[in-house]
Copies of this chain bind each other. A is one copy, B any other.
């Protein structure tokens, strides 16, 4: 018999993750606010649920991939939240990008209910999730991490452990999203400067992306930014702003002056103000830079 796990959140990232869990042989008790999203999953491998509580009933593992701190907190603590039904000793594998404080608070509530919260934020766009090329960051109690690893390995290319503090993985995730944002801003500034001096920005991006900056971020986002082709929305400006805003708060909370974090926060805030909410975050940054430069 297939192992049944709970699964909450069928967004751009959640859906390919759910598909890979199904392909790995799990049966999913699925909940999503818009439950029609579950129609594209193999129906024989899922049970559609009407609430987070229903999805969490009777499972050893519940995976959540949610948009932000408020939605995650409601999903856990709401009237029909996970905590109402999640069995004793079960593990909530939380893949959302949220503030460390949120993770610490939810972990405490889970502990009071006799079960566990595992911070497991992931790196990768939807196409990476589909190809099992995500990176999963984890932190917390050793036994919990060990128990969750086999499941996490089926949906990723690697699981990286950041120690025993509950929310360390969340700090790493926000640090990484800050670095992606900063890289996009830096490329947008650099390639726009080159263009202004009559140098082919695509050639410049190709050169750096294949030499000094020969890494996925600079190859993939570099091409998007150099070519100014933003059709594919992998991660919205709205979500990008949420992350920039969380980094900004961490910077204040820890008294770490971060001038580049200020720049990208302002860039995303501007994108929202211009109504680019549902466009890709790479467009928010790249168009922000070219607009400012009058091109």
> Residues of A at under 8 Å CB distance from B?
100, 123, 135, 137, 158, 160, 162-163, 165, 167-168, 171-172, 175-176, 178-180, 182-183, 185-187, 189-194, 196-200, 203-204, 207-208, 211-218, 247, 250-251, 254-261, 263, 266, 289, 292-294
Contact = CB atoms under 8 A, between A and B. Distances in A.
Given A185-B260, A199-B163, A260-B186, A194 B172 contact: yes
A268 to B, nearest CB: 13
Nearest to A139: B199
A117 to B, nearest CB: 18
Given A179-B187, A193-B256, A198-B165, A207 B293 contact: no
Contact of A251 (B160, B182, B193, B215): B193
Contact of A207 (B160, B180, B186): B160
Contacts of A194: 171-172, 175
Given A168-B197, A207-B160, A256 B212 contact: no
Number of copies: 2
Contacts of A261: 189
Nearest to A214: B215
10 contacts: A158-B211, A163-B199, A165-B198, A165-B199, A167-B197, A168-B197, A175-B204, A185-B259, A193-B247, A196-B255
A218 B186 CA distance: 14
